[in-house]
Amino acid sequence: MRGRLLRAWREGAAAAAAAARGLAELGAPRGKPPWRVLFFGTDEFAAESLRALEAAREPREEPLIDRLEVVTLPSPLPRGLPVKNCAQQFQLPTHDWPDTGPSGQFDVGVVASFGRLLSEDLILQFPYGVLNVHPSYLPRWRGPAPIVHAVLHGDTVTGVTIMQIKPKRFDVGPIIKQERYAVPSQCTAKELEAILSKLGANMLISVLKNLPESLKNKREQPNEGVTFAPKVTIAMSCIKWEEQTPEHILRLQRAIGPTLPLQTLWMGNTVKLLDFVEVHNIRSFADQLLNEHGIVPGSVLYHKLSQTLVVRCKEGWVGVKTVILKKKLTAADFYNGYLHPWFQQNSKTLHGDCRFHTLKLTTVKKTERKGNGSAQYKTKSA
């Protein structure tokens, strides 16, 4: 009798242990750290948060994270996406979207610059939901390119928001934590991204340290001040000389120029313009010519003293130091090779005929053999 009772007790204890292991494998929610985290991301902004999560996984008395896996997008680039490279460096299990790895085995999801909507079924697999590290002070600049649009629109203050995502729509979920950041003068989008990525990573770790309490204190986004930050397109790089002021063009250069050079047309050829500068100190030179000749938006002059191309735009002039036309040229090279010969051949022609034209891109669908459409661009001048 006693032996049967002991055997039954042992079998019960074994069953309880197996059940506990089964619950753990199914991802039973934990009430405190260490957390099991599934990370979704692609670019360098996201990689900074992933590095912070990996650092929080290191052995310590009270570890913050004990399991970390990564979901990223397939990339045609030979060097791969920053998040995938980072995950490989840390030897983290990695899944290519739409594969999201084992179901129901994580406490919380974290998204940063992922660019894909997560389904409601996927979000519900995480007991604490999915956090989003978003580089703007929401609700301003919802969407895929908040840093670019903050620089493009001359924002003096931006920030980072940690929010809880909702299905079907981007960047509308409740706010868990927010911090403002004053945008440095003349800051490029790439420089601002590096700053905000570190701020966002630190904020994410702060939220995870007190996750249940942080979620209790979340608040809905206000209805006022909502703006949208659509993705960057190649059409944004085409300078509109008739419509854009010097300030706008300089902001555009800081926003997208380092990764997508601004472009225009010169005598039917596409030209990329680099190294823009303000021209306050040579404006009188350009204005004098404006009074003497027929200058129109896009008209190009050369200021020899500063070795700068000076281009007429809306309400002023903007300077250009470098041009790419077949190859990289300094302003002096462009003048000697293109501007000066043109003036010699057209000495009686108005300066307005020597100009950059606004490049307009028209999207044309190209049908492939298998019937899949791919977008191509044709150029025309305005």
> How are beta strands 130-134 and 108-112 bridged, if at all?
parallel
Could you tell me if residue 214 is left (phi over 0), alpha (psi between -120 and 50 degrees) or otherwise beta? alpha
Q: Report residue 353 as tokens.
A: 């005929």
Residue 75 confidence (pLDDT) = 86
User: DSSP string covering 252-309, please?
Assistant: HHHHHTTTS-EEEEETTEEEEEEEEE--GGGHHHHHHHHHHS---TTBEEEETTTTEE
Residue 18 confidence (pLDDT) = 38
Residue 79 confidence (pLDDT) = 85
Residue 5 confidence (pLDDT) = 47
Please write down the long-range contacts of 94-102, taking CB distance under 8 Å and 24 or more positions apart: 94/69, 94/70, 95/69, 95/70, 95/71, 96/71, 96/72, 97/40, 97/71, 97/72, 97/73, 99/71, 100/38, 100/71, 101/38, 101/69, 101/71
Residue 249 confidence (pLDDT) = 98
Residue 362 confidence (pLDDT) = 65
How much is the pTM?
A: 0.85
Residue 344 confidence (pLDDT) = 62
284 phi and psi, to 5 degrees? -60, -35
- Give Cα 336 to chain centroid, integer Å: 38
The 10s digit of each residue's pLDDT in 163-219 is 999 998 899 999 999 999 999 999 999 999 999 999 999 999 999 999 999 999 999
The answer to whether the CB of 125 falls within 8 A of the CB of 104 is yes
Other Cβ atoms within 10 Å of 216 Cβ, number: 9
Residue segments in the chain with a per-residue pLDDT below the cut of 70: 1-28, 281-294, 343-353, 362-382
